[in-house]
Amino acid sequence: MDDDKHSHGEVNKSGLNRLLAFVGLSGPFGSVSLGQQWSAYFQNLGTHASLNIINGPGQIGPFRTGNTVKYSNNFGPVSMTLDARIDDDGDGDGDGGGNGFGGGVTVTPMDNVTLAGAFDSNDDSDTDIMGVAGIMGFGGITVTVAHEQSETGDASETNNTLLWLGAGITDQLSLTVGYGTKETEAGGSTTEKDELALIGVLNMGGGLKLWGQFHNADTGTSDADTIALGMRLDF
């Protein structure tokens, strides 16, 4: 297994191998936490843009980060988060991914509408990311649109656009279909990838959920399909 590195654009390496482990304080001032935790970018934007369970179109910013101090607060329909990663060890051994900071704001002006924006900057990789998302629900259907831009110095630029449609088919079964395009310019050349994902989640009750996902990735030179099945038990 690869080392768990905080690497922009590599959600698996920056999160799925990194366990949440943090302590914090909360009060009228908001909440402050320290440790390995959800990044401010993911907390505001990724929870909407990265709906895939195991693969498929998803947000390109940091997922879970180590050595992180995070501040969160709510003001009526507005919630905001700021974080800072404090890590002078830039050798990429997974200690935290280098110094950086990020933030995000989520606004819910009405029950069925959510607007979100976030940014993240990683000093070691010289990578800056910003993204926005809009979510609207009506008649049991949820529509999510998101766009992100990532720049790594003068070396590369990536634009990521996502569209998700979700619906509850029954009280127990929900289906979500997602489409995403990713365009990267680097070294005078441009690469593109189109992704399609279909996700089904069946709530069995008692904290048990069964899920399945179909994913297709088309780069123009390759076309790959993935099918994944799994279960989750919360207790």
- Residue range 7-34, pLDDT digits in tens: 443 333 344 556 889 999 999 999 999 9
Q: Is the pLDDT of residue 174 over 90?
A: yes
CA 15, 74, 140, 213: dihedral to nearest 10 degrees?
0
Instruction: For tokens 């099918």, name the residue.
Output: 227
Question: What's the pLDDT band for 55 if we cut at 50, 70, 90?
Answer: low
The SS3 call for residue 124 is coil
* Average pLDDT over every residue of 94-112: 83
Sequence letter at residue 183: E
Could you tell me the pTM of the whole model? 0.82
In this predicted model, which residue has the larger pLDDT, 1 or 165?
165
**Is the predicted pLDDT of residue 90 greater than 70, yes or no?**
no
CATH number of 12-233: 2.40.160.10
Instruction: Phi first, then psi: give them for residue 220, nearest 5 degrees.
Output: 95, -35
In angstroms, the CA 83 to CA 74 distance is 15
Residue 192 pLDDT exceeds 70: yes
Query: For every residue of 145-167, which 3-state class applies, written as one string?
Result: EEEEEEEECCCEEEEEEEEEEEE
pLDDT band at 195 (very low <50, low <70, confident <90, very high): very high
Residue 15 dihedral angles phi and psi, to the nearest 5°? -160, -55
What tokens does 105 get? Answer: 């704001």
Cβ distance 125 to 98 under 8 Å?
yes
Domains of the chain by residue range: 12-233
